[in-house]
Amino acid sequence: MSIEFAKYHGLGNDFILIDNRSSSEPVIAPEQAVELCDRHFGIGADGVIFALPGQDGTDYSMRIFNSDGSEPEMCGNGIRCLARFVAEIEGDRSNLAQYRIHTLAGVITPQMTAEGQVKVDMGVPRLLAAEIPTTLAPANEKVIDQPLEVAGKTWSVTCVSMGNPHCITFVEDVAAIPLETIGPQFEHHPAFPQRTNTEFIEVVQRDYLKMRVWERGAGATLACGTGACASLVAGVLIGKCDRSATVELPGGCLQIEWSEVDQRVYMTGPAERVFTGQFYSLLPSASAAGEALAVETNP
């Protein structure tokens, strides 16, 4: 059986998109997603995203398998890519399409903009320790500027959930952070029972932040949309940034706003198709996965 796919990226955070509307369950298993995401023997991606039928009155449902086979609740860059993908499979050329998408983090609403960007209503951030979840504070309290011991150092962290967990720490120079070494120690810290995404933030000015991220289940990536949202919220909570700011990631910039009116977070950024193709089978070992792929480069 052959399965068609499209490769998309949002600021370098890249995904394999599959039209899964014929079934309410993903057409491949997590371990197969791991093979497809392998950058040497597979297609190469940070995750596989499935466009499934909508639930509870939504237009679509979104499921995602990370490159390690785990399943996150949501992905900010991924949902922008999904919005572009479904607009293309629907043949919508208006560039103003809007969708209500069911995710494991709730209903998320992306909308195309006239400038070719995708603006996403990411919902209201969750701030209580039980909602993150984390044991850094009592369940009904917020985790703001709390100490956390990692790698023999005390870090001041603020925790935010955008439907998935984030641990944010502000640093003088993000370029100096040994991300590959310290990121996994944050992700697997016992204070986070479901692991965590970790953002290191440098405040350039109150409306401009620099960010590096270690993503739960994917490692160091070029961008993280939910992380950018969570980081701005954290910056507002500790008085380091404005409610609207540019967040510069290694792959480019996102515009993030935490609205004072409705308390919802809005993320605006690009999503671009890279190529399309199909894979005919999935072999049992990652070393042979490349032989199972036929990639058609249609930009």
The CA distances from residue 242 to 106, 137, 206, in Å, are 26, 25, 5
What is the separation of C-alpha 288 from the centre of its chain, rounded to a whole number of angstroms?
28
Q: Are the C-beta atoms of 152 and 181 separated by less than 8 Å?
A: no
| The amino acid at 47 | G
**39 burial level (CB within 10 Å; 0-12, 13-18, 19+):** exposed
Phi, psi of 251 (to 5 degrees): -90, -5
Residue among 81, 167, 224, 253 flagged as catalytic: 224
The CA distances from residue 6 to 17, 78, 249, 271, 295, in Å, are 5, 13, 24, 12, 10
Spatial distance between the Cα atoms of 244 and 242, rounded to a whole number of angstroms = 5
107's tokens: 């209903």
Residue among 75, 159, 167, 253 flagged as catalytic: 75
The CA distances from residue 105 to 11, 29, 73, 111, in Å, are 22, 21, 5, 18
> Which residues share a beta bridge with 255?
246, 268
Total number of residues shown for the chain: 299
In the residue annotation, 75 being an active-site residue is answered as yes
Beta-sheet pairing, 153-161 with 165-170: antiparallel
236's tokens: 């507002």
Longest dimension (CA), the chain: 54
Contacts of 50 (CB under 8 A, 6+ apart): 18, 20, 26, 27, 62, 63, 64
In the residue annotation, 159 being an active-site residue is answered as no
What does the CA dihedral 109, 112, 114, 117 come to, rounded to 10 degrees?
A: 100
Supply the residues annotated as catalytic.
75, 224
